[in-house]
Structure 1
Amino acid sequence: MLDSLNNWRLPKKLLAAFIVLGVMLGAVGLNGFLSTRTLNTIAQTHVQRGVGGMSALADVISNVKELRIIVYSYYNAADADDAAKLRDRVKSGNDELLKSIDAFDNIADDSLKPDIAEMRRVAGELTQVNDRIFDLRTKGDFPGAMAMIKTEGKQASHDTIAQAQKLIDMMRKRTAQKAAEGEATADTAIFLAISLASAGIISIVLIWLAINRSVAVPMGRIAEVTTTLAEGGKVDVPFRDRRDEIGEIAEAVEQFRAAAEARAEIDARIAAEQEIVTTTLRSSLQAIREGDLTQTISAEFPATYAELKTNFNAALAALRDLIGAVAESAVAIRTGSGEIAQASEDLARRTESNAASLEETSAAITQMDDRLRATAAAAGRTVQRADGAMGVVESGRSIADEAVQAMGRVSESAKGIDSVIEGLDKIAFQTRVLAMNAAVEAGRAGDAGRGFAVVADLVSALAMRSEEEAKRAREQLTATQTDIGTAVEAVQRVDGALQNISGDVTEVHTLLSDIATDNQAQSSTITQISAAIGTMDQATQQNAAMVEETSAAARNLNSEVTALSDRAAMFRIGNEPRGAAPARPAARPVPAAITTSQVAPQVSAARKPAIALATGQDDWVDF
């Protein structure tokens, strides 16, 4: 897998790295979304079934108690109008009781249906007992009505309240189970978040290792090879089989290395051949300068200069016969020097072509340097964004702490209010009991206590209303306390999640800083490579200048040959008279043309100029 990355181009590698990071961030976000949705579902179920069910069961208990009080009030009713009103209140109380049971039945689980049916049954018995008590009271059977109130009525009320209390206990257990499920879900979400964060960190480390292995290390190796080649060393260029920018740079360096080696071999061979030729010619020309025209060249010349040897010996022999033929021989020498100049110019063009290739390589490396600098700048901006995210997370944590403290203060205040409401509820209940006792005593007093009974009924009604208002206030306060507790837990979990996010963002900040540092190091390495290539380009330009100087020297040789022909008349050969007509030697065979393959290195077809040392009838034989 890592070997296949070597064939990816640099933009593709960076794109793959950012895609992996994006996938990990998306996974973290998806985990948070799913966990939040699950917790919301559990919370909604708790509010709908737990709080709503508890409220409905509390209404059932309150309705039973209210029916109990109404029955006592009906027993002590002073006249028919009060009795009729109390009957209506009993009827509405029965309806409210059934509505409360139906409300609980609508939101309760199917597993509670048998208990709900039992509560319906005991509530029905309570209704029947109350009806029988009313019938006995209507018929004037006060002792029977009171006995039924204290026995069957009391038992039916207690059974209904006990069944409702049983359901309340079951709902509390279910609420505790739901809370445990919510905590388990939150723990699972935190575990997944930590796992995903760890996987993201591992992915970033692996990405850094892959980029370092596929880009930084090869670039450093190529820089070492380029420096070695620039210093004149011999080393193989690695990474030529890769198909990315590294492979292109390696291929360009390999072409430069091959061209440099071929050029060095050619220069060495030409220098050796020229040394042999110039040494021999120097000796022979010294003899000629001294007037000795009998010293022929006997040393073996290279194939390239074999014609020069033959021509020189022939020229020397012809010079012995006819010094006057110096002019024609000078023309032949001029032709040879022109060919040398042409070859030098061709070599200069090849050198300029190599210089152009080096310029293209330098431009490509400069572009890569710009891309790495842009990547480093992007990494720096990402680090700044990570700093901003860390600041936002810390601000969110401080706000969450303030919210928890404020909710704690509200919860303490609610507990104090609950104590006050409980005291008011007890006072109202005691007032109702006193009112019932007063009504009983007024009933025993007969007509004399009728007015006192009316006042007792009014006091009982006011106490009942006070108890109802206290009950509603307690219900609202209970719901508020429950919501506050849930909100505190949620804010605490949010604070924990923000703490984890802050740690993860800190680690990402550190890794991004390392990546930016590595990019800067890579940019520095590429700058060194560019400087080395610039040095090689300068050396190539100097070689081209030297070749041009060689061509100029060949042209100067042509001028010197002309001067030589002018001075040839100064020589005397043997006893022959100065004006004797020399005999022209027979023409020698024309040597084969030397092609480019004998002197030029193997380069690409697009850069291989055809160079041939053209020869013809104008050769050294004419000298």
Structure 2
Amino acid sequence: MPLNSGLVCESFGKAMAEVADRNLTSEINTALPEAYHPLRADFNNAMGTLRQSLQSVAQVTASIDVAIREISCATDDLSRRTLQQAASVEKSAAALDQITATVRSTAQRAEEVGMLVDRSKTGIEQSETIVHQAIASMGAIEQSSGSIGSITDVMDEVAFQTNILALNAGVEAARAGDAGKGFAVIAAEVRVLAQRSADAAREIKALIAKSREEVRSGVALVGETGKALKTIITDVAEINRHISVIVEASTEQAAALQDVNAAVSTIDHNTQQNAAMVEQTSAAGRSLATEAEQLNTLIESFTLQANPEAWAGKDTRHPIPTQPVAALDTVPSGAYRLETAQ
């Protein structure tokens, strides 16, 4: 029994020393007394379960490391694109500010033009009233010219009658001889005055006729001016209506652009916040990747295979196993002896 106890202690001591040296492939295969067979089986099963668990942890850690690196790359890319989007949104917001200011200025200028058109319309309407008054005045002048023409006709008739009377008076003075010489001189002077009055009446009549023609021409021109003013008033009213529509549309566009500008500013603010959050997420992902690498390094410090080169050549980047590790009390003896030396 002492020899057997020494062998048992030596076997278990050697195995425990290997475990202490992080070699989990250690197993007790030495021929021991039958009483120690259950203890040897339990030790080998425990080591197999521990190896399997650490191998699963290593595989999961490798998968997590790959996923974290992919997430980190994706978040870095997302961060760059978010920053670019934020810059684009900021430029769009600045452009919208300029467009809003331009539309607002255009609306203000259009409103000023509308006021000028209203003022011009009022002036043109006043001009139309003045034209009507001028037409009425020219009509009155034409009527006065007609009255003056009638008076000159009377003056011409009076001069003709006076001339006849003076002629008769001269005849009678000639019959009277020397006694009628003085009367004959007066009759001659009266004839001269009558002739001059007739000539003046004819000249006045000719001038009045010419004035009447000029008045008629002036009335026609003023009438054409009134028609042109009516056309201008109609066109100005139409222009005023279009300008009113432009002012209303520009005001609505300015209000809509202001709303869009506010929305873009909100998007810009949110995009900046999203960029900051993505940057924080990226930093967290890089930190987590570092920690996963440290965990993987810690697990690699254990010897889990009898042939480490074969284990090192394996690709551990596979999906995380969904089946849980079997319970220790259901694992048969030697079930976890993976790739032991043949």
Give the TM-score category using the shorter length.
0.5 to 0.7
Q: Would the alpha carbon gap of residues 360 and 443 (structure 1) be closer, same or farther in structure 2, given more than 3 Å must change?
A: same
For the residue of structure 1 that corresponds to 2:313, the secondary structure is coil
Post-superposition Cα deviations, 1:75-102, rounded to whole Å, max 9, x if no partner, equal xxxxxxxxxxxxxxxxxxxxxxxxxxxx
TM-superposed CA distance for 1:540, in Å, is 3.4
Does the 8 Å CA contact 2:75/2:282 hold for their aligned counterparts?
Answer: yes
Q: Which has the higher contact order (CA 8 A, sep 6+)?
A: 2
Pick aligned residue for 2:58 from 303, 315, 320? 315
**Aligned runs of 1:241-280 on 2, under 5 Å?**
none
**1:552-572: CA deviations, max 9, x gaps?**
33344257558858997xxxx
Report the Cα distance in structure 2 between the residues aligned to 1:382 and 1:478, rounded to whole angstroms: 49
Would the alpha carbon gap of residues 423 and 561 (structure 1) be closer, same or farther in structure 2, given more than 3 Å must change?
closer
Percent identity of equivalent pairs: 36
Deviation at 1:377, TM superposition (A): 2.2
* 1:522-556: CA deviation from partner (whole Å, max 9, x where unpaired): 33333344344444444433442332232233344
TM-score computed with the length of structure 1 as normaliser? 0.37
Q: Give 1:388's aligned residue.
A: 119
Equivalent residue for 1:523? Answer: 254
Tell me by how many angstroms 1:505 deviates: 0.7
Q: Superposition pairs for residues 555-570 of structure 1, below 5 Å? A: 555-557=286-288, 560-561=291-292
Evaluate the alpha carbon distance shift between residue 358 and residue 436 of structure 1 in structure 2; reply closer, same or farther with a 3 A threshold.
same
Give the distance between the partners of 2:98 and 2:260, measured in 1 at CA. Answer: 13
Residue number in structure 1 paired with 2:43: none
Which residue in the other structure is 2:105 paired with?
A: 374
1:334-413 counterparts in 2 under 5 A?
Answer: 341=72, 343-413=74-144
Which residue number in structure 2 is paired with residue 480 of structure 1?
211
Indicate which of 552, 569, 583 corresponds to 2:283: 552
Point out where structure 1 has 5 or more consecutive residues left out of the alignment.
Answer: 1-290, 297-311, 318-328, 569-578, 593-623
Q: Deviations over 1:242-282 (max 9, x none)?
A: xxxxxxxxxxxxxxxxxxxxxxxxxxxxxxxxxxxxxxxxx
Corresponding residue for residue 26 of structure 2: none
Distance 1:388 1:516, change over 3 A: same
Give the letter for the 1:467 counterpart: A
Pairing 1:422–2:153 present: yes
In the other structure, the counterpart of 2:241 is: 510
Bigger CA radius of gyration: 2
The answer as to whether partners of 1:294 and 1:316 remain within 8 angstroms in 2 is no
Name 2:52's counterpart in structure 1: 294
Give distance in 1, aligned partners of 2:175 and 2:303: 187
Please report how far the alpha carbon of residue 508 of structure 1 lies from its aligned counterpart in structure 2 after TM superposition.
1.0
What SS does structure 1 have at the residue aligned with 2:109? helix
Identify the match of residue 460 of structure 1 among 184, 191, 194: 191
Cα deviations by residue, 1:215-249 (Å, 9 ceiling, x for unpaired):
xxxxxxxxxxxxxxxxxxxxxxxxxxxxxxxxxxx
Find the counterpart in structure 1 of residue 313 from structure 2. 588
Q: CA deviation at 1:433?
A: 0.7
Aligned residues: 266
What is the one-letter code of the residue matched to 2:242? L
Q: Partner amino acid for 2:248?
A: T
User: How far apart are 1:343 and its partner, in Å?
Assistant: 5.0
| 1:294 match: secondary structure | helix
Letter in 1 for 2:106: T
How many angstroms does 1:447 deviate by? 5.0
1:496-523 deviation digits (Å, cap 9, x = unpaired): 3212211221111011111221222333
Distance in 1 separating the partners of 2:240 and 2:98: 28
> CA contact under 8 A between 2:163 and 2:195: conserved in structure 1?
yes
1:393 shift after superposition: 0.5
CA 1:581/1:513 → structure 2, altered by over 3 Å: closer, same or farther?
closer
RMSD of the TM alignment (CA)? 3.9
Structure 1 counterpart of 2:250, one-letter code: N
Change (3 A) 1:458 1:378: same
| Whole-angstrom CA distance in 2 between matches of 1:433 and 1:369 | 94
Gaps of 5+ in 2: 1-48, 318-342
In structure 2, give the amino acid aligned to 1:425. D
Which whole-Å CA distance do the structure 2 matches of 1:524 and 1:591 have between them? 61
In 1, Cα distance between equivalents of 2:115 and 2:251? 17
Q: Distance in 1 between matches of 2:293 and 2:156?
A: 139
| Aligned AA (1:588) | G
- SS of 2:221's equivalent in the other structure is helix
Residue 590 of structure 1 and its aligned partner are, at CA, apart by 7.8
Residues of 1 paired with 2:303 and 2:162: CA distance? 169
Q: Report the AA paired with residue 223 of structure 2.
A: Q
